[in-house]
């Protein structure tokens, strides 16, 4: 249903460095660079960073929320650790979560601009 998402960032180079590290455990890489934009994904850009140098940092209760599928709970934990090591802040440590229709293993971080990111792993249903 959703093709891609765009997130506003104050410092494109700093944010790109953060996202390269944070998204690596989820197998998402830097694919495209355009003036004032960088795209990340697996085969095509699913996440775009858009430079907004005049933007002020976002308060904790606003900003974008993007959730990325992880191949395993270990990848969720690695995403969380990589994002914190790259300058993000914890907004929910790795662990089980209850969603609207199922349970999953997830973790939340805030990027340097205050955007909320989540890594999620949904267990396979028993056959």
Q: Which domains does the chain have, with CATH numbers?
A: 5-53+64-121 (3.10.180.10)
Instruction: Enumerate helices (H) and strands (E) in the chain, giving the number of each.
Output: 2, 8
**pTM for this model (two decimals):** 0.91
Give the whole-angstrom CA distance, residue 113 versus residue 87: 10
Give the torsion through C-alpha atoms of 62, 64, 70, 73, to 10 deg.
Answer: 0
3-state percent helix, strand, coil for the chain, nearest multiple of 5 = 20, 40, 35
Residue 115, token pair as written in the block:
């955007």
| pLDDT tens, residue order, the chain (127 aa) | 689 999 999 999 999 999 999 999 999 999 999 999 999 999 999 999 999 999 887 777 777 789 999 999 999 999 999 999 999 999 999 999 988 788 999 999 999 998 999 999 998 765 5
């Amino acid at each position: 249903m959703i093709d891609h998402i765009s997130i506003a960032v104050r410092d494109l180079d700093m944010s790109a460095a953060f996202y390269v590290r944070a998204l690596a455990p989820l197998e998402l890489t830097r694919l495209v660079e355009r003036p004032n934009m960088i795209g990340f994904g697996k085969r095509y850009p699913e996440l775009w960073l858009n430079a907004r140098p005049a933007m002020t940092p976002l308060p904790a209760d606003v900003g974008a929320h993007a959730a990325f599928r992880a191949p395993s709970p270990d990848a969720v934990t690695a995403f969380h650790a990589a994002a914190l090591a790259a300058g993000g802040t914890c907004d929910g440590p790795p662990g089980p979560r209850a969603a609207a229709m199922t349970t999953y293993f997830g973790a939340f971080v805030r990027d340097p601009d205050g955007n909320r990111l989540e890594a999620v792993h949904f267990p396979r249903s028993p056959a």
